[in-house]
Chain A
Amino acid sequence: MDRVQVRTGDVAVWLLLLTAPYWLPLTGGYVELGSRILILGLASMALNFLLGYTGVLSFGHAAYFGLGAYGTAVMMKYFYESTPLAVLFGVLVGTVAAAIIGPLIARLRGVYFAMCTIAFGQVFYFIAFQWRDFTGGDDGLSAWHREPLHFGFATLDILNNNKAFYFFVLAVFALAVGVMAFLLRSPFGRTLLAIRENERRARFLGIPVDRHIWLSWVISCCFVSLAGALYALLNDFVDPRALRWDQSGNFVIMAVLGGMRSFWGPLLGAAIFIVLQDYISSHTENWMSFVGLIFVLVVLYFPRGILGIVRRKLTS
């Protein structure tokens, strides 16, 4: 695909996202659905930084998503009621945890890496589940809410105005996605592609592969914890399910569904996943079986994901 096509694609995505609060209600959706798609899309794109661009599969990203969410909720509820500060704190907690765990798993490959990420993820799940006094246990952390943003000259009421919250999320999303795209286009980003393409060759070019996998992991977890922080703000609530391994699986499903070799693929995957969830779950509790069926069909027939098909149609 040539440059012009990529640019047109990017412009189309941003236009759709910028106007979503106005056209979503017309299609039977609602503004919060848009915020949700952005947030889980960001989480899945962050996972894809590692999965699609470094070639490393994590099945434990919910841990850092959840840590971001808990960090945000804890700051809001116990310490200081400021949205930006709470988000920063959430990201810090998730990223630091990932940075510490990283060296323990960066030497592992394939299914061993995936298994260890699940194991570490479950550790955090059980901590959140058991530590009732602090985390609220199974009931989660409630009785707090996001705070309006004060800019000195103006106030953005993200608490009561759904559209304002959507645009706040979109701004954070744009920043995060921009940084990831920037990194992927840099020499550092290309060393990650090298590792994905052929680890042995990467090593014999002189790339310290484990260290670069660790860095990619930390970057990926940093953005997934940012998504987690936003998720806590969206719900004004967090519970241990945000940390659980099935949430990690959902991120992987979104990425694969949309196409893990394309930058926007995971966002599309998240959109499909969430719209299906929203629509089907109002008819049946077994909405996951439908998502599962679609997932299996995509993996079997379109291994490059839905955006992969679109791309091939465009290039041929």
Chain B
Amino acid sequence: MSLLRVENVTKAFGSLVAVDNVSMTVEAGELRAVIGPNGAGKTTFFNTISGFLTQTSGKILFDGEDISGLLPARRVWRGIARTFQITEVFPELTVRENLRIAVEVASGYRMRVWQPADAEEEVKARVVELLEMGGLTEKADRLVGEMSHGDQRANEIMMALALKPRLLLLDEPTAGMGDQETYDITQLIRKLHRDQKLTIVLIEHDMRVVFHLADRIMVLAEGKMLAEGTPKEIASNEAVQAAYLGKAAA
């Protein structure tokens, strides 16, 4: 069974149809990229999957179950975690505190007013693990708001991972980053995909990143699905080249 099935989703804001009858099926363990020119509806499409927006029509099935009407928090509980185009973190807390909160919530401790010592140790160990995975160990006690954009993004991805998601949605993970930062984040995503077999759907502008990472690519243009296939198929697709890729793929 596919992990995620989006069936004929449409999202309209008044008369503006941002996403027009788009379907997508993502298998477990797959890394899917969603690309398209600005205003193609990528982020809106993403938002309907994570529950940030409710679709006008269509259905979203996660692990075979209809989640179309669920609130964001409930989708998180089922295993969907996401990051945002503009990094959403806790700026006035340290990296360690950011991750600690994520780990505690993920462990089901959010209503606890008292933490037993063994749970405390377990949380701390998990935070250390996440810090290492995200390459943030040395920056653990810095305030997130004072870190570089790339580190903030790494912190956000690690917070999403703390939730032990079955599906990770990344909205332009390398947006606004320098070459080195882009490379680091790309390596991180590749590691998560290859080593942990995590299912990932990502929106991305940077074509190097997309063709480097993705198993399959879906192209959106003006709210509609233009094409879908392996990176090779997409690169040679004439409609895609005409609409969008032309210069970038050359």
Contact code string B45-84 (vs A, CB < 8 Å = 1, else 0): 0000010100000000000000000011100110001101
* B104 and A190 contacting across the interface, CB-CB below 8 Å: yes
Of A189, A198, A206, the residue contacting B76 (CB under 8 A) is A206
Interface residues of A, dominant DSSP: helix
Residues B91 and A207 in contact, CB atoms below 8 Å apart: no
In the complex the two chains form, what is the Cα distance from A191 to B108 in whole Å?
12
- Checking A188, A197, A206 against B73 with a beta-carbon cut-off of 8 angstroms, the contacting residue is A206
Q: Write the nearest CB–CB distance from A44 to chain B, whole angstroms.
A: 21
Q: Does B105 contact A (CB under 8 A)?
A: yes
A41 to chain B, nearest CB (A): 23
Q: Is A109 an interface residue (CB 8 A)?
A: no
Query: Whole-angstrom distance between the alpha carbons of A193 and B113 in the complex?
Result: 14
- The answer to whether A205 and B159 have CB atoms under 8 Å apart is yes
Kindly provide the distance from the CB of B121 to the nearest chain A CB, expressed in whole angstroms.
Answer: 14
For B217, the chain A residues whose CB sits under 8 A away are none
Chain A residue at smallest Cβ distance from B120: A187
Residues of chain B within 8 A (CB-CB) of A19 are none
B27 within 8 A of A: no
Given contacts A206-B77, A207-B110, A208-B73, contact A187 B91 (CB under 8 A): no
Selected contact of B81 from candidates A191, A197, A204, A209, CB within 8 Å: A204
B183 on the A face (CB < 8 A): no
Interface size on A, residues (CB 8 A): 22
Q: How far is the CB of B150 from chain A (nearest CB, A)?
A: 18
C-alpha gap A207/B73 in the complex (Å): 6
User: What chain B residues lie within 8 Å of A209 (beta carbons)?
Assistant: 73
With A197-B91, A198-B91 in contact, is A206–B106 under 8 Å at CB? yes
Inter-chain CA distance A194–B106, complex, in Å, is 14
| A182 contacts chain B at the CB level, 8 A cutoff | yes
Contacts of B104 in A (CB 8 A): 187, 190-191
B235 interfacial contact with A, CB 8 Å: no
Known A190-B100, A193-B101, A194-B90; judge A203-B73 contact (CB<8 A): yes
Across the A-B interface, the 8 shortest Cβ-Cβ residue pairs: A206-B76, A197-B90, A201-B88, A187-B109, A187-B104, A186-B113, A187-B112, A205-B105
Given contacts A186-B114, A187-B111, A198-B88, 14 further A-B contacts (CB under 8 A): A183-B113, A187-B112, A188-B110, A189-B113, A191-B110, A193-B101, A194-B105, A198-B90, A201-B88, A201-B89, A205-B163, A206-B73, A206-B76, A206-B106
Chain B interface residues toward A at CB < 8 A: 50, 52, 71-73, 76-77, 81-82, 84, 88-93, 97, 100-102, 104-106, 109-115, 156, 159-160, 163
Q: Give A residues with C-beta under 8 Å from B.
A: 182-183, 186-191, 193-194, 197-198, 200-201, 203-209, 212
